[in-house]
Amino acid sequence: MRTLWQHCHAATMVDGRYAIIEDAAIVTYAGLIEWIGPRSGLRPVEAERTVDLGYAWVTPGLIDCHTHAVFGGNRSSEFEQRLQGVSYAEIAAQGGGIASTVRATRAASEDELFASARQRVQALMRDGVTTLEVKSGYGLDLANERKMLRVARRLADELPLAVRATCLAAHALPPEYAGRADDYITHICDEMLPALAAEGLVDAVDAFCEHLAFSPAQVERVFIKAHELGLPVKLHAEQLSSLHGSSLAARYQALSADHLEFMTEEDAIAMAAAGTVAVLLPGAFYFLRETQLPPMEALRRHGVKIALASDLNPGTSPGLSLRLMLNMGCTLFRMTPEEALAGVTTHAATALGLGDSHGSLEAGKVADFVAWHIERPADLAYWLGGDLPKRVVRRGHEISN
């Protein structure tokens, strides 16, 4: 059905700028944007339906490009411990942290994981999220990583949402491989990744490069295997220390390197040259009460594209609002509201390998957009979460939320 959407202003986010069209019209057909421009430039169209948007501000559907939305249990007890002064690394060393979520995730059935993930994802959708990345990484063996990735696929089947599934088997060392990290990497490369990729469950491969996780040499083995399988890579890098994982990611043309508080200028230069997106995660920075800020000026100076994401996970960022992350990106990382919005639209799409089809309002792209009843685009970063009045359109069809 061809639909004409009119009486709106559009922040198209083309090239990561507001790129505003005042009094815009949008024509959608077959799930795509067929035409967008000023209403005065619209030629007569045979639309089956015309929708009056009441002069709302239309933006691309929001994209949360880094989540761990599928997991068992939660870690509010560790939150209490950390507030009493125990660090994230200390909790991990005592068998808590990621390992405790691995136990709970292994114990949960696929249906249980789906039910709890759906609630969290629906919370994100109430913020205008139409595309989401979901990582595995709390299963850490073939059967349980498969279970998580199947839940990610099912979320896309049952909700009006595009989902990219990322295999993060190299997230932490499972207990059965204690003291044998290289053997676990061999298992990932020889057994897990080939099987999961063959089952069509993997869109990208991620790893956690950190002293308390995997070394750059171990991560590189995973990247080599991912490329052999034709899969793009991403990396959790420079969150707690500087191992130059982001430069390693750039050498493997990673879609993104994520966290990055401890990255250096050389890392930024390497990422810019490779087109690797910097995904910043202010929720984790805030929740761990970190003080080392990502090097915003170096990222800007070298033209690295910057995305923002919720990092929704039970340990370091129980964040159920992507718009709250826009605010935190501005207040904590000194991003502008325009940069923050680009970080959850244009650049988030690129971080998922979807830059050609998603992330901006342009003819030929998927017709995922949100009509917000706000005064100006900066309002999206201004309010601290909350349910802003809006209409959400996914593939040309309005969805209720």
Q: Which parts of this chain interact with Fe ion (CB under 5 A)?
A: 311
Q: Report the residue closest to ligand NIG, judged by CB.
A: 315
Considering beta carbons, is residue 144 or 317 the nearer one to ligand NIG?
Answer: 317
Q: Does 214 bind ligand NIG (CB under 6 A)?
A: no
Footprint (CB under 6 A) of ligand NIG, residues 77-116 = 97-98, 101
Considering beta carbons, is residue 213 or 274 the nearer one to Fe ion?
Answer: 213
Footprint (CB under 6 A) of ligand NIG, residues 283-302 = 284
Considering beta carbons, is residue 316 or 321 the nearer one to ligand NIG?
Answer: 316
Sheet holding 3-11, edge to edge: 32-38, 20-29, 3-11, 49-60, 369-372, 390-394, 397-399
DSSP assignment of 268-331 equals HHHHHHHT-EEEE-HHHHHHTT------HHHHHHTT--EEE----BTTTB----HHHHHHHHHH
Identify the residue among 314, 329, 355, 377 touching ligand NIG (CB under 6 A): 314
Q: How far is the CB of 251 from ligand NIG (least distance, A)?
A: 21
Give the sign of the dihedral formed by CA 213, CA 219, CA 223, CA 229.
negative
Q: Which does 316 bind (CB under 5 to 8 A by kind): ligand NIG, Fe ion, none?
A: ligand NIG
d(CA 354, CA 10): 21
DSSP assignment of 305-318 equals -EEE----BTTTB-
Identify the residue among 16, 60, 315, 355 touching ligand NIG (CB under 6 A): 315
Footprint (CB under 6 A) of ligand NIG, residues 222-281 = 236, 239
SS3 assignment for 2-50? CEEEEEEEEECCHHHCCCEEEEEEEEEECCEEEEEEEHHHCCCCCCCEE
| Binding span for ligand NIG by CB under 6 A among 105-113, 186-194, 295-303, 306-314 | 306-314
Q: How far is the CB of 71 from Fe ion (least distance, A)?
A: 11
Q: Which does 72 bind (CB under 5 to 8 A by kind): Fe ion, ligand NIG, none?
A: none
CA distances 235 to 69, 254, 311, Å, are 17, 8, 13
Q: How far is the CB of 25 from ligand NIG (least distance, A)?
A: 41
Residues at the interface with ligand NIG (CB under 6 A): 68, 97-98, 101, 208, 236, 239, 284, 311, 313-317
